[in-house]
Structure formats: structure tokens, C-alpha cells
Amino acid sequence: MGVFLFSIKMLKKEYKKAMIYAFTMMFTIMACFIFFNIMANQLLASSEIVRGGHSWQETYVPITTMLAFLVIIFCCAMIIFANHFFLSNKTKELAIMSTSGLSFLDLTLYIFYQTIIITVLVMPIGLLLGYLFSVLGHTILYSNLNIEVSVFQVSIEAFVNTFFSILSMIFSVLLYSSGYIYRHDIQFMLSTQTVNNYEDKRIFKLPKLFYIMLYFIGIVLMIFSEYSVGVFIFPCLIGIAAAGGVMSHVLPNIFSKLKQKKFVSDKIWLISISNLSYSLKKSITLVSLYSISSAVMSALLVYQQGHLKDFLTIVIGYIVIIILLSVGIFYKYSSEIMNRQIFYYNLYKLGYVKKQMKKIISKEVIFYYGLIIFIPLIYIIIIVIRCCVHGNIGIFFGSILIAVEMIPPIFVGVLTYHNYKNIVLKAIEGGIHYE
């Protein structure tokens, strides 16, 4: 059996491992089409034009064009991220194939063929969804702006650009996959469990107090800066970026002290805090991006609420980014859960009962997603209060901003808890099986 036929057979057999990757690919194709259509459609594009200059300070790019470009780049980056976890779930499979005599080229082609198959399957769905949502956007905008053009007419350029974006993503995935296979030996790929040991790989290690101060400096700037609807964007960027450092380098130290001084004899909290600390460190990039996106996009929505074209573009971008990041966080957390099966199985053998297991899981998940909500929520509440006081937004719109920030983490948190619980219960009831 050739590599191509074998890749098809294995993809059909283990299709569940590719589901989130396929969803990310489909959603990325949909988002790319929508934003390429916005950039190509003169009726949807910003009325302002890109202006150059003798220096970068003199260069001006309309916010709609810039946001559309950034969202497309972000979507492509999320494909690489999803591909990483797709490969991580196939390490044993690749290791066994390597020991069976397959070469580096064969393994690379194996992943490449599966990526092509997934892309071919989801591309029509992604393009169809992109077209339907573009029509929906046309309907809303054209009716509000009294534009008499068929809502079903989309730019051919959007299809062409999306197709070439897909090709570039496939090429990037091929490069990343081949590098992943080349860098990791058989021993690494055969290891199925990880230890809760995180290595700090920062080149420049800033003091922990620096992150805390920067986070509160952002809050101070939000509160005391001279009011304007655009004043919140920069403080959100620096404050929430600092929050990533707080979650990655400050909170784990606090958790460690709590374990030693307060929870050393509490067999529920001791394990929950240990797992929470490790999960935050492993997913800090995604969590930080989520927090920054929530706060900054909320500030942009307030800033552009009077410009319907730009406002709708930001809304679409907000939805796309939050969904992709939510899926990424869920995917990352699920990967960590799979690596903890033996850990929970051993706890069960040591005398922990299912009720205690559920308590450990619930505390960990609640605090994890609670932090995702809490970190940007302070900034968003400040934005809402100041804008309501100055009459730029109403209480209803402000409530929507707060609700939009809270609902996705709550929803993903519930899914994570049920997935976590089912994996653990399945492991302790049926034992650990290596496929």
C-alpha cells in the first residue's frame, strides 16, 4: 500500500483527531473570503484611501483595510497553530511508521496528503459559508446605506485571493510539518504522557513586579487620561499584554506559595492549583491573545460605532478572532487533558473517588476560564462606564460589550469541563489503553 492510500485509510480511521483541525481550516477559509470581499468591494471598503509618505509616521491606512489584513494574517497563523496540535496527536503514529522503515520524505508526504484531503473536503463548505455571510453583510449594509445593488453579487477577486491564500497556507503547513518531523526523534514521538514541568525559555527575564505595575498603569491611563473615544486602545494593548506576564510568571509563583502554606494538606485544592498553574503556562499565548483581542476590539467598537461600514467590519473581525481563539484554547486544553489520563488513573488507584475527581476538575476549569474573563473585563468595564458617563454609548450597548466578553469563555468552559470529566472517568473506569 502506497503512502497516499495509507494516509487516506488512517484519516478515515482516526477522523476524530482531525475534526478541530478541519473546523479551523473551514472557518479560516470562510473568514478569508469575507474579508477579501470587503477589501475588494468598493461599496464596503472604507471611503478613505491608503496614503503613503516619506516616513512610516506619514503613512495612513484606513482602519477597515488594516483590520481586514490583520484578521487574514491571524487566521493563517491559527492554521499553523492547529496544525501543531494535529501533529502532536499523531506522534505515536508517526513514530511507528518511522520504525517500520518509512523515510523522512514518506512521513512528510503522509502529513501533506492528509492536509490536502482535509482542505479539499472543507474548502467548498468554507467558501459557501463565506459567500452566505457576505450576502448577509451586504443585506445589512446596503439596506442601511440605501445602496441599490444585488446583495448576491460578490467580488471574483475574493475567490481568487482566497484560493491563493489556501495554497500559501498549505505550503506553510508543509514546511512546518516537515520541520516538526525532522526535529523530533522516535523516542520523543513515542512518549504519550507529559510531566507538569514547565521550562521558562525567555531570553530576557523581567522582574515579576514589572508586569503587575504595567497592568495597573494601563488601568490608571484608562481612568485618568483626557476623555476621547479613541483614548482606550493604547492602554488596553499595554495593560492586557502585561496581564499575560502576570498569568505566566506571577500567578504560578502565588499558586506555589498557596500550595506550600495553605493547601499542602488539602488533597483537592493541591492538585487543582498545580494543574491550573501548568495549564496557564502552556496556553499563555492563546490566553493573552484572547484577552488583548477582547479589550482592544471592544475599544474599537466604541470608537467606530458611528461609522457603519467600519463598525460592521470590526464586529465580523471580533467574531472571527474570538471563535478561532476559543477553539484554539479548547483544543490546547483538551490536549493537556489527554496527557493527564495516567495521572488521574494513578490518583484513582491511590484512593481518590469519582466525586473528588470531579471537584478537582471543576475548580481547575472554573478558575482557568474565570481568569480569561476577569483580566480583560476590568478594562472593558472602565471603557463602558466612561463612555456611558460622557454619553457616547448607552447602557444597553455597554451591557452587550460586557456580555460578549463573558459568554464565549463560559460556553467553552462548560464544554471543557464535560470533555475533561468524560476523559478522566473513561480512563479510571476502563483503564489506560494505548492505541
Q: Which residues have C-beta within 8 Å of that of residue 177, sequence separation ≥ 6?
A: 83, 87, 108, 111, 112, 115
What pLDDT does residue 48 have? Answer: 52
CA–CA separation, 303 and 300 (whole Å): 5
Q: Which of 6-15, 191-200, 284-293 has the lowest mean pLDDT?
A: 191-200
* Mean pLDDT of the residues in the chain: 80
What pLDDT does residue 87 have? Answer: 79
Q: Which residues have C-beta within 8 Å of that of residue 109, sequence separation ≥ 6?
A: 3, 4, 7
pLDDT at 415 over 90: yes
407-415 long-range Cβ contacts below 8 angstroms, 24+ apart = 408/322, 408/323, 408/326, 409/290, 409/326, 409/369, 409/372, 409/373, 410/369, 410/373, 411/326, 412/326, 412/329, 412/330, 412/369, 413/365, 413/366, 413/368, 413/369, 415/330
What pLDDT does residue 369 have? Answer: 93
CA–CA separation, 162 and 152 (whole Å): 18
For every residue of 112-153, DSSP letters joined together read HHHHHHHHHHHHHHHHHHHHHHHHHHHHHHHHHHT--S-TT-
What pLDDT does residue 192 have? Answer: 47
Q: How far is CA 150 from the centre of its chain?
A: 35
Q: What is the pLDDT of residues 86-106, one digit of tens each?
A: 777 777 777 777 777 778 888
What pLDDT does residue 106 have? Answer: 83
What pLDDT does residue 45 have? Answer: 57
Q: What is the pLDDT of residues 352-379, one digit of tens each?
A: 888 888 999 999 999 999 988 988 888 8
What pLDDT does residue 246 have? Answer: 83
What percent of the chain lies above the pLDDT cut of 70? 88
pLDDT at 158 over 70: yes
Is residue 273 within 8 Å of residue 255, measured between CB atoms? Answer: yes
Q: What is the pLDDT of residues 43-88, one digit of tens each?
A: 665 555 544 455 444 444 566 677 777 787 888 777 887 787 777 7
Name the pTM for this structure: 0.78
Is residue 198 within 8 Å of residue 275, measured between CB atoms? Answer: no
CA–CA separation, 232 and 118 (whole Å): 41
Q: Which residues have C-beta within 8 Å of that of residue 15, sequence separation ≥ 6?
A: none
Beta bridge partners of 60: 51
pLDDT at 434 over 90: no
Evaluated on CA atoms 181, 184, 187, 189, the torsion sign reads negative
What pLDDT does residue 414 have? Answer: 94
Is residue 119 within 8 Å of residue 106, measured between CB atoms? Answer: no
Q: How far is CA 414 from the centre of its chain?
A: 17
Average pLDDT over residues 315-342: 84
What percent of the chain lies above the pLDDT cut of 90? 7
- pLDDT grade for 412, boundaries at 50, 70 and 90: very high
